[in-house]
Amino acid sequence: MPVIAFAQLLLPDSPYAMWVRGELEEYLRLPDDGTRVEVVGGDIVVSPAPVYAHAGILSDIQRGFERAWFVDAGFQWRAVQAVNLDLLEIGDGYVPDLVVVQKDVDAEKRADDVLHLHPHDLALVVEVTSSSNDRHDRRPMFGRQIKPTKWSGYARTGVPYYLLVDRDPRQPGATLFGAPDKAKGTYESLGEWKFGESVRLSEPFGVEIGTDAWKPCND
């Protein structure tokens, strides 16, 4: 099922404003089956619920952070899946696959029962590509028209680190990006790993994630 962009819909307000208020999904009458709605580069993007292998990769990453916490009671990082991220600075709204925040931020947001996180709350964001949404997760394609993606959106709002797990059969692997340039909306590549290699997130995280079970998409 492909991602659908509703760029030409006549809406009562901007897609971003409706997304922030929690009205966009209901307005589009989306099924309650795990379908996600996001605003990327001002466009509405709807993605189907991820497949099991996609969810398994996220569980492996989260388990890596939990293992580090178990070994070191003073470990300061917490990994959380599928939260709403309000990128007010660029008028976008994402639902990252997984975010990593400091333990104090985690405690604060739990206590306040917040609906949205913001880029300054995050230390690391993780996206795992699916065949339906991979172009939105990667760096923009350069050509006549450069469409913003979540990669550039995270950089433009100053998210410090971005781990992209790309399941494209032609180029499967994981890449850690960092050193965001907010003005240009770009990252530097800090490390790359093939599936089967251990992803080592050095300081400030100090986490190792096994990828033996990670596989490319089937299509």
pLDDT tens-place values along the chain, 219 residues long:
444 454 456 889 999 999 999 999 889 988 887 889 999 999 999 988 889 999 999 999 999 999 999 999 999 999 999 999 999 999 999 999 999 999 999 999 999 999 999 999 999 999 999 887 788 999 987 655 578 999 999 999 999 999 999 999 999 999 999 999 999 999 999 999 999 999 999 999 999 999 999 999 986
The domain 51-209 having CATH identifier 2.40.50.140: the answer here is no
How many Cβ atoms sit within 10 Å of the Cβ of residue 91?
17
Instruction: Compute the CA torsion angle 61, 63, 67, 70 (nearest 10 deg).
Output: 130
Alpha-carbon separation of residue 8 from 1, 94, 146 (angstroms) = 20, 20, 19
| pLDDT for the residue 49 | 85
Domain boundaries, the chain: 51-209
| pLDDT for the residue 218 | 81
Distance CA 203, CA 160 (A): 12
| pLDDT for the residue 97 | 97
Provide CB contacts within 8 A for 37, sequence distance 6+: 19, 24, 25, 28, 30, 44, 45, 46, 95
| pLDDT for the residue 46 | 92
pTM: 0.92
Give residue 173's Cα distance to chain centre: 16
Handedness of CA 87, 88, 90, 91 (dihedral sign): positive
Q: Which of 143, 107, 109, 103 is nearest to 123 (CA)?
A: 103
